[in-house]
């Protein structure tokens, strides 16, 4: 069913779900939402499956014309969304009628917003996911970002009789100062004590070279012991590579699956989502945690998602 | 390439949801065999893990921290590793022949590689296509196989300035490695030829015909044969797409 026509595509808008898992050994990156929490919430707010495909916007969002009555939710960074020029709330179900124009305004916080559509966006499932991998040219809408004139279809439609909203205390707040918890390694032994302490005690700024593949950071130079090259091995989103120039690179979800720079540390699951909302000039501070502590944080994070599910489910039962 | 295996494998944490079992810090057949053997043993042991990524000298194991812990996995893996002391016979590995048209517009660096080693182009082709290569790993871009090792007689450093676009199917050399670009990508390998085979197709399961541990050999073909195979492949692909 045709739901939207793209009037304006925005800076970089793609179709994403929770990601393409299980194909790293074939060189296929995980892709998927840079902020999976916000995508999950967007889906729950329109009673979708948590893994349904949504639109992911980057800094400047798109302008969409509604082709049929539908329900959506907009989550993620505060993108000042409007419908027919009127500000609408984020983190809640919105009902749209044919002809309504959805627009994204100034990005007040964060970098990426998510727009879910009741039924989920209908694009082919490739290797278990609907996520767009633009560099590989597959997934999502013809393997590319949205362009003017595109038509967005939803898989099936059943309007909810109730509009949900996420309690304000569960809405994440995105700031320009990010605290990321890291587990040192796997190649922390390739850095001097001084290098490790530089990394853990100085702020790093996100440069303009920041996209779905990764972020180059600017800041104090991290000292290697000797070499700054390794025989290429596997990398995952959240890994922090430090090439010869001593400036860290955070690996994100569209990155290649192997790399030849030593990894000083890796950011935990919850903080990878947080970093997914980082934009150029934002400042990241890294602090060291043990594997156990990182996993404890991940468990807390999943608990929050469970709470979310409970809240929205209960409302559905009440209808 | 050397054979410097660590005395015992290193177990290294990778964030909150993965760990690395590292056998060496150099490229070696011995380390790569260890990776393959452990990878297969872990698969057989049905451990509670999410996925395995075998590379040159290490095996990445991604797990769900809600289902298992780092300590538990390391304990199980060390136990498993003990049973693998003898190099188990590598059974059921695929052998795949890759047809390649060498030189000309398909292999713009063949002349350079030949000149670099004071060989004729034919000699380079013969040396490249007369041995079997092991798929050490797949990475860089979707479906890119890192194959080793080429004869020292044709091992050539990368281009000083990488190309912005290397066409899909290009076969290249970088030092003692050889590899195939499955799709158009930027790259600095010395391109000596091109295969008409499709090495990555996200509509297929698995998306690539090669996997780490497989054996590959190259067969020199003519430009005419290249076009014929290319046409056949395209027809097959479009038929399959239609039937889906």
For residue A72, report the phi and psi dihedrals to the nearest 5 degrees.
-135, 170
Q: What is the pLDDT of residue B88?
A: 59
Size of interface A-B (CB pairs under 8 A): 145
Higher pLDDT, B237 or A108: A108
Which residues, 6+ apart, have CB-to-CB distance to B7 below 8 Å? none
B22 touches chain A (CB under 8 A): yes
ω into B58 cis (within 30 of 0) = no
Nearest alpha carbon to residue B66 among B82, B50, B80, B81: B50
Where residue A313 falls among pLDDT bands split at 50, 70, 90?
Answer: low
Task: Report the distance separating Cα A123 and Cα B104, nearest Å.
Answer: 40
Q: What is the pLDDT of residue B236?
A: 74
Residue in chain B nearest A269 by alpha carbon: B16
Average pLDDT, chain A: 95
Higher pLDDT, B134 or A162: B134
Task: Report the distance separating Cα A3 and Cα B171, nearest Å.
Answer: 44
Q: What is the pLDDT of residue B1?
A: 47
b/e sequence B5-44, b meaning 16+ C-beta within 10 Å: beeebebbbbbbbbbbbbbbbebbeebbbbbbbbbbbbee
Which residues, 6+ apart, have CB-to-CB distance to B63 below 8 Å? B17, B18, B19, B48, B49, B50, B73
Of A25, A268, A269, nearest to B53 by CB-CB distance is A25
What's the pLDDT tens digit per position in A230-261? 999 999 999 999 999 999 999 999 999 999 99
B146 forms beta bridges with: B137, B179
- The model's pTM is 0.93
Task: Report the distance separating Cα B214 and Cα B132, nearest Å.
Answer: 10
Q: What is the pLDDT of residue B83?
A: 85
Of A21, A236, A257, nearest to B15 by CB-CB distance is A236
Residue A220 has pLDDT above 60, yes or no: yes
Higher pLDDT, A156 or A56: A56
B239 touches chain A (CB under 8 A): no
Task: Report the distance separating Cα A219 and Cα A282, nearest Å.
Answer: 12
Q: What is the pLDDT of residue A318?
A: 39
Which residues, 6+ apart, have CB-to-CB distance to A90 below 8 Å? A73, A74, A75, A76, A78, A79, A81, A113, A171
DSSP 8-state assignment for residue A168: G
CB A73 within 8 A of CB A91: yes
ipTM score of the complex?
A: 0.93
Q: What is the pLDDT of residue A312?
A: 76
Mark yes or no for CB contact B60/A26 under 8 Å: no
Helix, strand and coil content of chain A, in percent to the nearest 5, comes to: 20, 30, 50
- pLDDT one digit per residue (tens) for chain B, 244 residues: 455 888 889 999 999 999 999 999 998 899 999 999 999 999 999 899 999 999 999 999 999 999 999 999 999 999 998 888 665 555 567 899 999 999 999 999 999 999 999 999 999 999 999 999 999 999 988 999 999 999 999 999 999 888 989 999 999 999 999 999 999 988 899 999 999 999 999 999 999 999 999 999 999 999 999 999 999 887 777 666 555 4
Number of Cβ atoms within 10 Å of the Cβ of A291: 22
Residue A314 has pLDDT above 70, yes or no: no
B89 touches chain A (CB under 8 A): no
Number of Cβ atoms within 10 Å of the Cβ of A272: 25
Task: Report the distance separating Cα B215 and Cα B209, nearest Å.
Answer: 11
Query: Exposed, middle or buried, A69 (CB in 10 Å: 0-12/13-18/19+)?
Result: middle
How would you classify the pairing of strands A93-96 and B170-174? unpaired
What's the pLDDT tens digit per position in A279-304? 999 999 999 999 999 999 999 998 98
B158 touches chain A (CB under 8 A): no
Where residue A317 falls among pLDDT bands split at 50, 70, 90?
Answer: very low
Cα radius of gyration (chain A): 20
What's the pLDDT tens digit per position in A166-200? 999 999 999 999 999 999 999 999 999 999 999 99
Mark yes or no for CB contact A183/B16 under 8 Å: yes
Task: Report the distance separating Cα B94 and Cα B96, nearest Å.
Answer: 6
How would you classify the pairing of strands A283-288 and A177-184? parallel
Of A23, A232, A266, nearest to B14 by CB-CB distance is A266
Residue A35 has pLDDT above 50, yes or no: yes
Residues of A with Cβ-Cβ distance to B57 under 8 angstroms: 231, 233
Q: What is the pLDDT of residue A157?
A: 72
Of A59-68, A210-219, A278-287, B75-84, minimum mean pLDDT range: B75-84
């Amino acid at each position: 069913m045709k739901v939207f026509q793209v009037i304006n595509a925005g800076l970089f808008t793609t179709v994403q779900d929770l990601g393409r898992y299980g194909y790293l050994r074939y060189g296929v990156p995980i892709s998927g939402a840079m902020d999976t929490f916000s995508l999950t919430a967007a889906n729950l707010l329109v009673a979708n499956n948590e893994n349904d495909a949504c639109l992911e916007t980057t800094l400047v969002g798109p302008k969409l014309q509604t082709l049929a009555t539908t329900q959506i939710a907009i989550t993620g960074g505060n993108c000042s969304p409007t419908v027919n020029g009127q500000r609408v709330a984020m983190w809640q179900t919105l009902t749209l009628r044919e002809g309504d124009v959805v627009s994204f305004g100034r990005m007040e916080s964060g970098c990426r917003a998510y727009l879910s559509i009741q039924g989920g966006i209908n694009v082919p499932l490739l290797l278990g996911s609907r996520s767009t991998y633009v560099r590989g040219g597959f997934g999502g809408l013809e393997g590319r970002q949205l362009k003017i004139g595109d038509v967005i279809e939803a898989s099936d439609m059943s309007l909810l009789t109730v509009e949900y909203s996420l309690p304000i205390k569960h809405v994440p707040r995105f700031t320009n100062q990010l605290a990321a918890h890291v587990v040192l390694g796997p190649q922390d032994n390739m850095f001097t004590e001084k290098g490790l302490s530089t990394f853990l005690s100085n702020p790093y700024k996100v440069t303009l070279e920041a996209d779905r593949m990764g972020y180059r950071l600017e800041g104090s130079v991290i000292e290697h012991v000797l070499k700054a090259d390794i025989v290429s091995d596997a990398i995952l989103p959240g890994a922090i590579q430090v090439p010869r120039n001593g400036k860290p690179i955070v690996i994100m979800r569209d990155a290649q699956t192997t790399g030849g720079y030593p990894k000083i540390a890796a950011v935990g699951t919850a903080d990878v989502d947080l970093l997914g909302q980082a934009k150029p000039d934002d400042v990241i501070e890294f602090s060291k945690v043990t594997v156990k502590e990182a996993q404890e944080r991940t468990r807390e994070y999943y608990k929050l998602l469970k709470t979310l599910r409970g809240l929205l489910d209960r409302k559905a039962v009440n209808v | 390439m050397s054979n410097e295996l660590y005395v015992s494998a290193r177990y290294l944490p990778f964030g909150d949801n993965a760990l690395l079992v590292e056998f060496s810090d150099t490229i070696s057949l011995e380390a790569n065999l260890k990776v393959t053997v452990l990878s297969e043993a872990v698969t057989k042991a049905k451990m509670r893990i999410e996925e395995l990524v075998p590379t040159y000298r290490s095996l990445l194991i991604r797990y769900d921290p809600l289902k298992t812990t780092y300590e538990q996995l390391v304990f199980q893996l060390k136990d498993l590793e003990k049973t693998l002391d003898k190099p188990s016979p590598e059974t059921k590995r695929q052998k795949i022949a890759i047809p390649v048209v060498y030189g000309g517009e398909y292999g713009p660096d063949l002349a350079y590689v030949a000149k670099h080693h004071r060989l004729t182009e034919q000699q380079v082709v013969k040396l490249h296509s007369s041995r079997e290569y092991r798929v050490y790993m797949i990475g860089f871009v979707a479906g890119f196989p890192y194959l080793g090792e080429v004869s020292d007689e044709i091992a050539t450093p990368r281009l000083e300035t990488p190309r912005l676009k290397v066409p899909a199917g290009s076969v290249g050399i970088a030092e003692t490695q050889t590899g195939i670009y499955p799709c158009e990508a930027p790259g600095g390998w010395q391109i000596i030829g091109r295969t008409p085979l499709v090495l990555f197709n996200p509509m297929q399961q698995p998306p690539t015909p090669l996997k780490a541990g497989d054996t590959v050999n190259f067969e020199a073909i003519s430009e005419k044969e290249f076009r014929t195979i290319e046409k056949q492949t395209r027809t097959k692909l479009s038929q399959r797409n239609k039937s889906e």
